[in-house]
Structure 1
Amino acid sequence: MKRGLLASSVATLFALTTGLSGKAEAAIVIDGKVNESEWAQAQQFSNFKITEPYSLTDPDSGTATQAYLLSTQAGIVVAFKLEQAPGVPRVKPRLQRDQTKKSDKVNVVIDFDGDGLSAYSFSVGLSGAVSDGVVTNETELNLDWDTDWSSAVTETDAGWQVEMLIPWTVAPMRGPASPQRTVGVYFSRSLGHNGVLQAQPAISIERGRFLSGFERIEIPQYRTALFHYWPYLTANHDLLNDKTRYRSGVDVFWKPSPNFQLSATVNPDFGQVESDSLVINFDAVETFFGDKRPFFTENQSIFSMNTADSGKLIHTRRIGGDADDGTGASDINAAVKLNGSQGGMNYGVLVATEDGKAGRDFYVARLQYPLSPKLSLGWLGSLTDRPHLDRTANVQAVDLSWKPDSAISVDAQVLGSFIKQRGQTTNDSGARLVLGWNPSSNWSYELEAAHFGNQLNFNDLGYQRRGSLNELEASAQYIHRNGDKQSLLRSSRWQLETQARANDRGDRLPSVAVLNSYLNFRSGELLFLQASASSSGWDDTISRGNGLWRRPSRQNYEAQFLSRRYGDWAFSGLVSLIPRGMSDKLSRMAGMTLSWYPSDSFNAEFEFTPEWTREWLVWDGGRNFGRYQRKADFGSLSLNWFPGSKHELRLKSEWIAMRASNGQGYQLQPTGRLTATGQTKADFDINKFGLQLRYRYSLGPQSDLFLAYSRGGSSELDRSEIGTVDLFDEALRLRDSDQILMKMRYRF
């Protein structure tokens, strides 16, 4: 494939200007000082209510909030004026982008099309730390998306102020020809010392209806063109074999108008500057990992389509994933993404191709059409070509979203998979219907019915936990708001969910009932409690297709406590009792996380979670199983230092170890019972360790220099009587990988 760098660029210089009706030109400087006269022409928002806890009361004394929004040639400018009286603690740690820690911050979420299908979130902390993300499917927030926008903060004894500039180029939009645009907006403010959230409008992402509850406003809109390209260079030195690998490539972004944008990448390398958490997974269900690669997070919201059973029709981690010939991760030759609108229809196209004889090709197309302000219809199609397996997988889905009023929502989906492999064809279908009802500010209900056919399979480019499923779920949520200011509790939220399931062959799977309680204390602490019970039923996945196991009834219990800040410290604790074996014997887990903020520029977090399991069931191939006692430990350490506004230094380390002992062999019988074979299973342990020391220097907007040292490994040994300290000592010496990475990416 021909490769090369685009040798020309278009320089873009914005003058941030506006005036009456958006026509007169006058400068606003993004310096965190809301003092320009032009702000008098802005739309103002001051009716903030407390939504976390969901009390819907006025903000506490000394914490009043005002927000402003103004449309300009350069983009939408947003400002906040925030009262924070001397008696109200200020929490302002320096944080990495998108790091979620308790802090004083503000947030604006904008639905540029005003249709409730997707919106873009922008947050700024009192320290200047920023976060951005995309909200889809009403309540699903993805913080992997990063874009180019600017902000500034100033602080006084009486409070603080924030200004943001959100360029018109951050998202594709419909209807570019009209001089006015209807957008949906949501503003919020978080108080770090007690976790209280103020918002306007007074809606919550926890209540099922979020995007469709935004306040609709009219603003002037402007046409803005943009062209950027990012050459990159990486050098990866492998310390194990003393070899250095160099890679180079380019990313391109072109937006000639509000309703069309193109992203492309040639010979991409996503480096190893972000690492996944360590896991040990013996279950039949694959562990889900999100995608942090910039090309696959930028303007990806149109392709976000969830299914029943926590599935996703498009899971971009498949692109560049493990190769079909077993040689490791695949290299990506190139990828192209188109987003835009034509008339009233939104569209998206994604194409990617991998290198090598086992390289795969991926194609995705998506359409969304609002038939009315309350009704939208969509289609998604994907095709995956896997030549090494002589396999093509075609997935088609149609979805509908109807919100006839502020209380009722209807979401429906029909999908099918059409797979050809080595001359054999396998087709099947699925469907989903979700009904939501929010009759009052206290109560909300949801009913979901879903069907997956026996052969439905969208895993070639999606994420599917299982096929062959018929499911009916019903849930109810009640929020109690406590108006007594002498009470320890500010509010409580109770949620009951019931679930009945069967596979598509008619085998009844265990039914489940779950009761959740969220207790919000006036001091800022949060206590989460959960109790669940499941009936006996068939487990049709544990043997990987080698027979059904009749699982007995069981119960689960969990409690989690999240503290407020106590000076420089915060903590959380977790206790859970979960059955993992053949009977209802409960495994015990107790975890503690400590967070330390000795200064605004440095923070640290330590977590240790041990687990003791008296009975653990492990599939051993075919109809064979092992029954063990298990001891597991998880530990992590995170250190973050911000010596300057452009500098970040991070240490991230994780360790997970598991010991299995007293193993006994069992075999699954045709009756569904597990019977002892009399075979003794050898004790074994699994040990994993990972460490990354990363320095990041910001070269400019969306331009960075990374230096990272990474080391880690895993071991699995048949042995007995090894303790936690010895496993940790061995983990520190694991060295399956040991490398130094330099990556530079610069925007022109």
Structure 2
Amino acid sequence: MLPARAHCPALLIALALPPHAGAQIRVDGRLDEPEWAQALVFTDFRVTQPYTLTEPSHRTEARLLSTPEGISVAIVNEHPPGVPRLKPRTERDQRRPSDRVNFIIDFDADGRVAYDFAVLLSGSIQDDIITNQTQFNSDWDGDWSWAVHEEEDRWTVEMLIPWSVAPMRNTHTPTRTVAVYFDRVLGHSDERSAFPQASFDRGRFVADLHRIEIPQYRAAILHVFPYATVLHDRIAGDGDFKAGVDLFWKPSGGFQLSATLNPDFGQVEADELVVNFDAIETFFTDKRPFFTENQGFFDLRTPDAGQLVYTRRIGARGDDGAPAADIDGALKLNGSLGHTSYGLIAAQEADAAGRRFGVARLFREFGAGLGLGWLGTWTDRPFLGRTARVHSADIGWHASDKLLVNGQLILSEVEQAGDTRRGHGAWVRMNWAPDARWQHRLEATHFDRHLDFNDLGFQRRASLAELRLASEYLHRVAAPASRLRSTRWRADLQARYNDEGDRLPGTLTLQHSSDFHSGASLQFEAGLHGAGIDDLISRGNGPWRRPARQTLFARWRTPVRNGLQLSLRGTLYQEGLAGYAFDPRLEATWFVTDDLNLQLQTGPLWSRDWLIWRQDVEFGRYRRRNDFAALNLNWFPGDRHELRVKAQWLAVTARDGERHLLGDDGHLRATATPLPDFVVNSFGLQLRYRYQFSRWSELYLVWSRGGTLDTERDPRGPLDLFDEALSLRDADQFLVKFRHRF
């Protein structure tokens, strides 16, 4: 066997290629094939959560084989009988405390995009695409195999990652260099040990994966996923039938094509319940298979939580007011030529008001850690007579093992009603980790007032000049008798201006967190928000001079004990003109059995000074109470059966309102005019049953009901509002969906 730190590429090719070429690994979790004796072995696991880099509580060993079918991975986890085992069954990508392992791979070993494959002791799985170093996106569901085998003193996992699972460059060579990472999490104590010693809490992660050279094979697949849904509207008394198909053709990792006709909108997935009074829209993820497949290549993020390609725009509310736009079809292509990768997306919505979307992407790796890319988007909105184009040039430079530099230049051009508006923006970010204790981040951003990539992207604001500096120090507690494992201190300073030179509210945030050997954690945070201009709140009717504010936050999370984990948090913050709000929150997760788990979230919010925009320069200032509760129940009565209950309730009550007007000087002035009380009461319930005929063929039975009531009236108590919410019935639908893979 080769030791974990002795990867010699030439020796690996000589020793591994002949036996690997005929390797036949049965994915059953048992590791009883003789080929595993020829695998690369990784044993130097260190504790990275918390980031102490000490020896882990229990030994873990990872093995890797390159075979014609794909990359085979085995992880052996020592687990003595006296150590608790936490193994709840969960839905795919559902985050719950559990014993689990992760295998992460960057197929091009360039630190740009990686893929995470996680297996829980229960046999449940999670998979993610990792972009922008630390951005995990669980919307992607990869096509891979796994198995778990449990014994008295250990448990083992086998995975097979097909060569076709992701696009990659240089697929014609006999070997390829990949970057890999393995970790193991103890569910009862939340201790994470990993090889190599990379951490996604340190600003850079994908760039720190361990590079190895392995034999490479070509594989081709053609998967066709037809689907059909029957929807019965129990309010209107009518029904609707829809059918469509997703096609994935992957002749090699160097060329992959996806297409869809009348794409599957994932009606079985319920978004979180949100009541938004802010000037910035709410961001939602996308679970539609076509739009998540190979999407990491197009995932360019910006500071201020921006995203240049936001696929929820495609098929969203129509420009003509339709609640959702039908999509005739869409096409996506990913490929590579040498060191250059390319990608295309095209989508066409139905009907005369239907929009058209196009995306093109190029990226070239130049070596020495330097990569340059270009992304262009085009959106045609005929109902509005609007056309938008966006161009972006991006750079990523892994200057050293300690320094990572990223940057981007963005240009936008929007034509509407004979007028053309051009905008530009740029940002640069440096992550520097001089040693295992310290890490620093410096970021500078400038967006001019006309920059606009919202037609196909997600942009919180234009007109922004921001400088941000963050530093973090980690202290490892060496005393063996201490209850603490580590403490972490973090300071984050932001200075912000708009494009006209007005100072926006800046922020200084100080954070302290403690991790305990028991698995508990404690976090404190204090924020100082300086006075400045809020130029978004009035929706273009003038800036408001917002006063300075303070924020205090605390959170305590317990380990899992007797099947129960609690998280208690509270936030005290200023809002409005001078008042305080208090937002306590309780989250309880109860593992009734391995096959049944329940999660409850609840908490009221009290505010004495809630300020919201009403119209033009008119604002309302209220006393507010928010009541929130969410229940998620997951039951797995059999290997192929899943039952989920998801219920959410959100009520906002506003009283003692007073009308304020925004003056030309940026100050709000009371008018002594009372405003009527109002209530927003919203409820959503979904019962979902899923039956799997096979890994990629499934039947869903879904009942969804809910509604929202927004009225001016005297507020009532929380119990009365909850009782009222149960009777809300704006929507009441029953859905049957079948999806199958050929």
* Match in the other structure for 2:468: 473
Paired amino acid for 2:108: D
| Unmatched tracts of structure 2, length 5 or more | 1-14
* Match in the other structure for 1:636: 630
Which of structure 1's runs of 4+ aligned residues deviate more than 6 A?
Answer: none
Question: Residues 182-581 of structure 1 correspond to what in structure 2 (within 5 A)?
Answer: 182-581=177-576
**SS of corresponding position for 1:134:** strand
Question: Residues 586-735 of structure 1 correspond to what in structure 2 (within 5 A)?
Answer: 586-735=580-729
**SS of corresponding position for 1:301:** helix
Asked whether the 8 Å contact 1:458–1:464 carries over to 2, the reply is yes
**SS of corresponding position for 1:205:** coil
Distance 2:573 2:738 in 1: 46
Asked whether the 8 Å contact 1:148–1:701 carries over to 2, the reply is no
Asked whether the 8 Å contact 2:576–2:610 carries over to 1, the reply is yes
- Superposition deviation, residue 22 in structure 1: 4.8
Paired amino acid for 1:706: Y
**SS of corresponding position for 1:302:** helix
Asked whether the 8 Å contact 2:412–2:451 carries over to 1, the reply is yes
CA displacement, residues 100-136 of structure 1 (integer Å, 9 cap, x when unaligned): 1110000000101111110110010110011111001
Q: Percent identity, please.
A: 50
Out of 25, 28, 35, the position equivalent to 1:38 is 35
Distance 2:716 2:437 in 1: 53
- Superposition deviation, residue 27 in structure 1: 2.4
Paired amino acid for 1:622: D
CA displacement, residues 214-251 of structure 1 (integer Å, 9 cap, x when unaligned): 10001101011111101111000000011110011111
Distance 1:101 1:274 in 2: 18
Asked whether the 8 Å contact 2:29–2:149 carries over to 1, the reply is yes
Paired amino acid for 1:606: L
Distance 1:366 1:494 in 2: 39
Asked whether the 8 Å contact 2:654–2:715 carries over to 1, the reply is no
Deviates more, 1:182-191 or 1:503-512: 503-512
Distance 2:366 2:120 in 1: 39
Distance 1:134 1:538 in 2: 37
**SS of corresponding position for 2:395:** strand
* Match in the other structure for 1:170: 165
Does residue 1:739 correspond to 2:736, yes or no? no
**SS of corresponding position for 2:183:** strand
- Superposition deviation, residue 24 in structure 1: 4.5
* Match in the other structure for 2:25: 28
Paired amino acid for 2:39: A
**SS of corresponding position for 1:671:** coil
CA displacement, residues 576-629 of structure 1 (integer Å, 9 cap, x when unaligned): 01222111x210111111111121000001111100001100101111101000
Give the direction of change, closer, same or farther, for the CA distance of 1:69–1:483 in structure 2 (3 Å limit).
Answer: same
Distance 1:375 1:348 in 2: 20
Deviates more, 1:194-203 or 1:527-536: 527-536
- Superposition deviation, residue 343 in structure 1: 1.3
Distance 1:360 1:517 in 2: 48
Asked whether the 8 Å contact 1:228–1:747 carries over to 2, the reply is yes
CA RMSD of aligned residues (A): 1.0
- Superposition deviation, residue 187 in structure 1: 0.2
Distance 2:91 2:486 in 1: 31
**SS of corresponding position for 1:733:** coil
Distance 1:23 1:569 in 2: 45
Distance 2:24 2:16 in 1: 9
Paired amino acid for 1:611: L
**SS of corresponding position for 1:364:** strand
TM-score, length basis structure 1: 0.96
Does residue 1:54 correspond to 2:48, yes or no? no
Distance 2:687 2:78 in 1: 39
Paired amino acid for 1:413: Q
CA displacement, residues 623-664 of structure 1 (integer Å, 9 cap, x when unaligned): 110100001100011110011121110000000001000000
Give the direction of change, closer, same or farther, for the CA distance of 1:22–1:264 in structure 2 (3 Å limit).
Answer: farther
Distance 1:712 1:161 in 2: 44
Paired amino acid for 1:683: D
Distance 1:408 1:451 in 2: 22
Distance 1:220 1:702 in 2: 29
Distance 1:691 1:601 in 2: 22
Distance 2:266 2:486 in 1: 45
Asked whether the 8 Å contact 1:109–1:120 carries over to 2, the reply is yes
Distance 1:270 1:561 in 2: 38
Paired amino acid for 1:497: D
**SS of corresponding position for 2:164:** helix
* Match in the other structure for 2:141: 146
* Match in the other structure for 1:13: none
Paired amino acid for 1:43: L
Does residue 1:82 correspond to 2:80, yes or no? no
Distance 1:746 1:223 in 2: 26
Give the direction of change, closer, same or farther, for the CA distance of 1:20–1:434 in structure 2 (3 Å limit).
Answer: closer
Distance 1:578 1:331 in 2: 43
Asked whether the 8 Å contact 1:115–1:373 carries over to 2, the reply is no
Distance 2:115 2:520 in 1: 29
Give the direction of change, closer, same or farther, for the CA distance of 1:658–1:24 in structure 2 (3 Å limit).
Answer: closer
* Match in the other structure for 1:6: none
Paired amino acid for 1:295: F
Distance 2:556 2:549 in 1: 24
**SS of corresponding position for 1:393:** strand
Paired amino acid for 1:512: T
**What is the aligned length?**
728
Paired amino acid for 2:683: F
* Match in the other structure for 1:4: none
- Superposition deviation, residue 258 in structure 1: 1.9
* Match in the other structure for 1:134: 129
- Superposition deviation, residue 19 in structure 1: 6.5
**SS of corresponding position for 2:207:** helix
* Match in the other structure for 1:3: none
CA displacement, residues 489-543 of structure 1 (integer Å, 9 cap, x when unaligned): 1011111100001100111111110112221111101112111001111111111
Asked whether the 8 Å contact 1:234–1:271 carries over to 2, the reply is no
- Superposition deviation, residue 28 in structure 1: 1.8
Distance 2:507 2:239 in 1: 53
Give the direction of change, closer, same or farther, for the CA distance of 1:217–1:226 in structure 2 (3 Å limit).
Answer: same
